[in-house]
Structure 1
Amino acid sequence: MYSLNKYIFEEVCDNNMELYNDIMETIRCDYNEIIDKMAHELCIPEIRQLVHKLVGVILILEGKNYEIMYYLKLLLNIDKTATNLKHYQTYIKMITDYDKSFLGL
């Protein structure tokens, strides 16, 4: 999904604020799209795939976002063979309700 070297990203964006804004807007859109899909998804394998995508989006953001990463880790620690969506719904609600301002979005 994203493969940016942090130092190159910072160097380029320090010199080009328009590029930085475009990249951040892409990340915001991806984040919002993944969160929306996750909130409405009923297929457990698809939920797990969305969680992995969300981890990638969050890791690209500045700073460490330990709280939301903790929720994502808990969600991924649910047994892959679990078929009851209720196991996932609690964590999905916490993740979708997470305040985007803490992520810099």
Structure 2
Amino acid sequence: MSQALQALPHRHVLTLPAVPKAVRVARETAEQTLVEWGIGLRHRAVDPALLILSELVTNSVRHAAHVSPEVTVIYAAAHDCFAFAVHDRHPHKPHLRTALTGPGAWPP
């Protein structure tokens, strides 16, 4: 788990079989966890974050399941932010990218 996620006071870890149903379970768990942590599901960042989470889990299921029978989702939050991390055990790791924020961020 990254240091940034470890620094957030709320954390939940979910490990699922790498099957299509994992996408729905990961998303439903995210919704339930955010509510438990006091983050309203109507917050403007929640829907895009859940979509991204769904895409990440889908990618793990579609592209890594043959070598990684499980996918792990880490949920983390503080009073002013929340984050998700998706991990599988596929030996090829994509390059880590950071979010672009502020002036000059996409879209231009």
Coarse TM-score class (shorter-chain normalised):
0.3 to 0.5
The two structures have a TM-score, normalised by structure 2, of 0.34
The two structures have a TM-score, normalised by structure 1, of 0.34
**Max radius of gyration: which structure?**
1
**Higher fraction of strand:** 2
**Higher fraction of helix:** 1
